[in-house]
Structure 1
Amino acid sequence: MAALALASQATACSKPRTYTNPVYAAQFPDPFVLRHEGRYYAFGTTGKARTNDGRIFTLLTSDNLVDWQAAGGALTPPAGAEDADFWAPEVVFHQGTFYMYYSMGGGAIGATVGHRLHVATSKKPEGPYTQVALLDVPASKFTIDAHPFQDTDGQWYLFYARDFIDTDNNYRPGTGLVVDRLLNMTRLAGESRTVMRARHDWTVFEKNRTMPLYDNKTFAEWHTLEGPFIRKHAGKYYCFYSGANFLTPRYGVDYCVADSILGPYSDVGAEQGPRVLAAVAGHVRGPGHHSHVLSPDGRTEYLVYHAWNKAMTERQLCIDKLAWTADGPRCEGPTYLPQPMPA
């Protein structure tokens, strides 16, 4: 009997471990994952809510991208921001300091300008982070989803999403993507360039949308491109983004590509819908607002994204492999059945 039990135990131990999405079955929108010294730190949007330690942005930690532990909150609330919304944190490490980029709006601060970009700093990846600067974009009343990127020459750039209300060059009114140089980690050059604006039917957010920010003007169609994330691959710059209304089955991840960090970018092939990550009817709804991270072996690239639970009460944390194919980047998902553990 003892020998049989040992054999059974050995067989169980030899079975490869798997994971099943979601890897964190609780509210965790707009996930960003930082890998630092072999450990993963995930940061998620909290909106107006505070974590149990009174901070902003839910913080999780993990050693393997699958088993996550709650670690409180990351950002100390700035003074005067009691009623403000906080969205989409991203963190980078530069010259001994961790920089967190995010948007804040509403409440006593910014009530008439929608959302504006801010940066906070910490000496530790888990924080707490302290807000140190406003990254002002005077031309826009709504700036969100800041994504810092360091090019191979060392220059830092900030990609973000902002509103456009014109129809120049046959673009659609709505939220689009831009890029600007960072003069340092807390100051924009003020030389923003358009990366991509909406021009396809699938990215519509809402029809006949009245916008208080723009003197209650009603737009026949309001489109959304958001959540930019840059990858340099095989000498080209890929700007991944999420498009459409996050509540709908159309929401997913696509990309545009350029030979230069400042563009021009092309989204040829994106006419019919998101090519990287798309909903699976009856199983996965609203996959998107992702980040990229390497597995523990440092070789396999994963997308970290949110997707709705079946009741559509929470956007939960999911991961899936990214593949670079002859047709461009494609996610091996979204998956909802058991998958091999990240190596």
Structure 2
Amino acid sequence: MTSTHHSTYTNPVHPQTFADPFVLRHQGFYYAYGTAPGNADGRAFPVLRSPDLVQWEPLGHALVPSGGHDFWAPEVAYKDGTFHMYYSAQGIEGRDHQLRVATSTDPAGPFVDVTPGVAGALVPDQPFSIDAHPFCDDDGQWYLFYCVDFLELEDDHRVGTGIVVDRLLEMKRLEGKPRMVHRPHEDWHLFLKSRTMYGNVYDWHTVEGAAVLKHDGLYYCFYSGGAWERENYGVSWVVADHPLGPYRRPEEGGRALLMHTLEGQLIGPGHNSFVQSPSGDETWIVYHAWGPDRAGRRMCIDRLRWEGGKPVTDGPTCTPQAAPA
């Protein structure tokens, strides 16, 4: 694509629906993958390419599905010349959303499903699993953060969707020893009151969309909480000394600490990823948000910085900002 220098940008940075945005940097370009309607030939997940995080070129759709429908939240990990796309699909063997993996030798795809077993799942013992986030530690060990449902009342936890982490023995096989990372426990984590689930009725709470950053030797698991289509959706974090935890809550809990609705402008910001700027000197948070028209969740970006050892951003922003350096 032809690159034109941009000194500023204004959110959203892409005009079409592009929820759950994940951005991968590879060989001087950024590739963005998101949740959106599929294309005419049956492929899922639009993929965009950019030299600078501001101007984005559509490259079509990335995934060749092996069945199912309602494809959600793709994230891509690169290892040994292969790109691995983690995502969830509904309807395979009549099941609810299940995590799967597809591979490609090109970041734009096509990605072909390689989940163990034609109708298999990465987490076969769970009736519902979504929002896979692959994370590689400094020693080269990969981990997979993902979401499952919890129906047990423990401590101050509430019934609903939460985040766990497991070690990846290989890129398409988990160790099978998931550890709890974070469960909903705050009022702002409410997804829906009196929701019928698993043959019962619950006030359902949700934390989802894990994205992990290592900073000063600590592992920050950022998450989105609340109802994805409502104003209470936002981003906060928990922190640990190891990718497998245990994870601690910030002392200032009780609200979405990193990012929340900008009233009347950007609604329900969340389900983010992180990426370095072209110079490598800045960290950027990539997230989706509704506009006032509620026409779709669109991709936005803002700087992330650290103040007093804590993550801070000015986002969500909807006015011109200095472009990534």
Report the TM-score when normalising by structure 2. 0.94
The 2-side partners of 1:138 and 1:22 are apart by 37
Q: CA deviation at 1:309?
A: 1.8
Residue 73 (structure 1) aligned to one of 52, 61, 71: 61
Contact 1:53 1:72 (C-alpha < 8 Å) held by counterparts: no
Q: CA deviation at 1:139?
A: 4.0
Q: CA deviation at 1:86?
A: 0.6
- 1:1-343 equivalences under 5 Å are 17-46=7-36, 49-78=37-66, 80-81=67-68, 84-106=69-91, 109-111=92-94, 113-133=95-115, 134-211=120-197, 214-215=198-199, 217-219=200-202, 221-269=203-251, 271-326=253-308, 328-343=310-325
Contact 1:135 1:187 (C-alpha < 8 Å) held by counterparts: no
In structure 1, the gaps of 5 or more residues are 1-12
The 1-side partners of 2:186 and 2:252 are apart by 8
Cα deviation digits, residues 264-294 of structure 1 (max 9, x gap) = 1011335321111111112210100010001
The 2-side partners of 1:260 and 1:301 are apart by 21
Residues 145 and 16 of structure 1, relative CA distance in 2, 3 Å threshold: closer
In structure 2, the gaps of 5 or more residues are none
Indicate the structure (1 or 2) with the bigger Cα radius of gyration: 1
SS at match of 1:162: strand
AA in 2 matched with 1:210: T
Cα deviation digits, residues 9-50 of structure 1 (max 9, x gap) = xxxx9x97211000001100000011001101100113xx32
Contact 2:122 2:172 (C-alpha < 8 Å) held by counterparts: no
The 1-side partners of 2:42 and 2:6 are apart by 40
The 1-side partners of 2:103 and 2:54 are apart by 27
Tell me which moved more, 325-334 or 37-46: 325-334
Q: CA deviation at 1:166?
A: 1.0
The 2-side partners of 1:136 and 1:52 are apart by 28
Q: CA deviation at 1:140?
A: 2.1
SS at match of 1:250: coil
Contact 2:98 2:127 (C-alpha < 8 Å) held by counterparts: yes
Cα deviation digits, residues 276-327 of structure 1 (max 9, x gap) = 1111112210100010001111111100000002111210110000011116
The 2-side partners of 1:326 and 1:245 are apart by 30
Contact 1:52 1:72 (C-alpha < 8 Å) held by counterparts: no
Report the TM-score when normalising by structure 1. 0.89
The 2-side partners of 1:247 and 1:196 are apart by 21
Q: CA deviation at 1:138?
A: 3.9
Q: Considering only aligned residues, what root-mean-square deviation do their CA atoms show, in Å?
A: 1.6
AA in 2 matched with 1:264: P
Q: Which has the higher helix share?
A: 1
Residues 16 and 135 of structure 1, relative CA distance in 2, 3 Å threshold: closer
Q: Percent identity?
A: 50
The 2-side partners of 1:341 and 1:170 are apart by 42
The 1-side partners of 2:301 and 2:282 are apart by 12
The 2-side partners of 1:224 and 1:45 are apart by 19
Q: How many residues were matched structurally?
A: 318
AA in 2 matched with 1:30: D
The 1-side partners of 2:122 and 2:31 are apart by 27
Residues 236 and 252 of structure 1, relative CA distance in 2, 3 Å threshold: same
Q: CA deviation at 1:52?
A: 4.5
SS at match of 1:202: helix
Q: CA deviation at 1:51?
A: 2.0
Residues 188 and 342 of structure 1, relative CA distance in 2, 3 Å threshold: same
The 2-side partners of 1:160 and 1:177 are apart by 6
